[in-house]
Amino acid sequence: MHRSLVLSRSFASGASALRITVPSAIAIHRPASMPATALAEPSTTVTTSRDELFTFLRTMSLIRRVEIVSDQQYKARMIRGFCHLYSGEEAICTGMEAALDQSRDAMITAYRDHGNHIVRGGSAEEVFAELFGRATGMSKGKGGSMHFYNAKKLFFGGNGIVGAQCPVGAGLAFGAQRLGTGGVSVSCYGDGAANQGQIFEAMNMAALWKLPAIFVCENNQYGMGTSTRRGSADDNYYSRGHYIPGIKVDGMNVLAVKEATRVAREYAVNHGPIVMEMSTYRYSGHSMSDPGVSYRTRDEVQKVREERDPIERLKGIMLEAKAATEADLEAVEKEIKIQVDEALAKALAAPEPEPSQLTADIYVGKYEGTIRMVEKS
């Protein structure tokens, strides 16, 4: 289990303040033209609290449990179509969200989006309902696994076209700059998508206009079934923005992600775009049709689970900091299981969308035409 040094601890009125050492950035890329002082290196000391650590644990455990149940429901044929699970990568969206401002910082990602929806305030019931095609789903049951969306929380998807979210993310950053919100946009993409031309085009525009954009490569080591070294001539994704600075961080350590995102956000607001590479690992296959063991061994997956699992690492930090007991951790696990079971039952009982939803959110006003194979009520 991962161990982190607790530098100091203070308790007052039931609250706890903790300063914990975490690994600094794995690597930093600074363009030759950039002053060395413009981009600070993430600190090896992160300030947190008992409450925040429990929030991290509940959030990451909720995402993990939702994905486990989604896997089961897909195999039971309750979920159809595509479904991409986030198990193993929970520390990324959770840690980033802790350093972002939901009232002004926008987030956009690809099709592995269930966790992003949850950290933006979404519920497990909304996740399941959307996966089942029910009306109470986040996208009214019409988007499915790849198209979660919540504009009110500045979460803009869930996008099925590989890499296409990054130009939109640059546009979100352009909007924040023009409106003077003081916010940033965070565009998440995978190591496979890192080779898409539109990502470099988005980075180029962001650099030209000094947009407050954070481009986040979630490097889970395999683009579909191809390892990074076989699919990328340069697998140092944090430096592939060239003229844009970059930070590579351990994406399996929620506190390291939080600290690196804090640094990246501060840079983006004041100077312009930055690239983050999150070194992570997915436990499941690329999608439900991929068993995930034809291009890697079960021993490899098990080794990562034993040595780098983000939830177990967090538990180790909490125990070492005496912020929790084994009983506390077990109680959270039971609490999350009950919460997910209740959400699943509600989602299964939810109604399907009305036929009128076929044209909703497409036309302005009421659609007066006919829809083939649908009778008007």
Contact 249, 279 (CB under 8 A): yes
* Predicted local confidence at residue 36, as pLDDT: 76
- Please state, in angstroms and rounded to a whole number, the distance separating the CA atoms of residues 262 and 259: 5
The mean of the pLDDT values for the chain is 93
* Predicted local confidence at residue 4, as pLDDT: 56
* Predicted local confidence at residue 9, as pLDDT: 53
Q: How many helices (H) and strands (E) does the chain have?
A: 11, 11
* Predicted local confidence at residue 137, as pLDDT: 96
* Predicted local confidence at residue 377, as pLDDT: 54
Buried b / exposed e along 187-226 (16+ C-beta atoms within 10 A): bbbbbbbbbbebbbebbbbbbebebbbbbbbbbbbbbebe
58 CB neighbour count, 10 Å cutoff: 16
- The DSSP secondary structure of 337-364, one letter per residue, reads HHHHHHHHHHHHHSPPPPGGGGTTTTSS
Full set of structural domains in the chain with CATH: 6-358 (3.40.50.970)
Q: What is the pLDDT of residues 22-67, one digit of tens each?
A: 987 899 999 988 887 889 899 999 999 999 999 999 999 999 999 9
Low-confidence spans in the chain with pLDDT less than 70 = 1-16, 371, 374-377
Parallel, antiparallel or unpaired: strands 185-190 and 213-219: parallel
166-to-123, 197, 278 alpha-carbon distances in Å: 25, 10, 16
364 CB neighbour count, 10 Å cutoff: 5
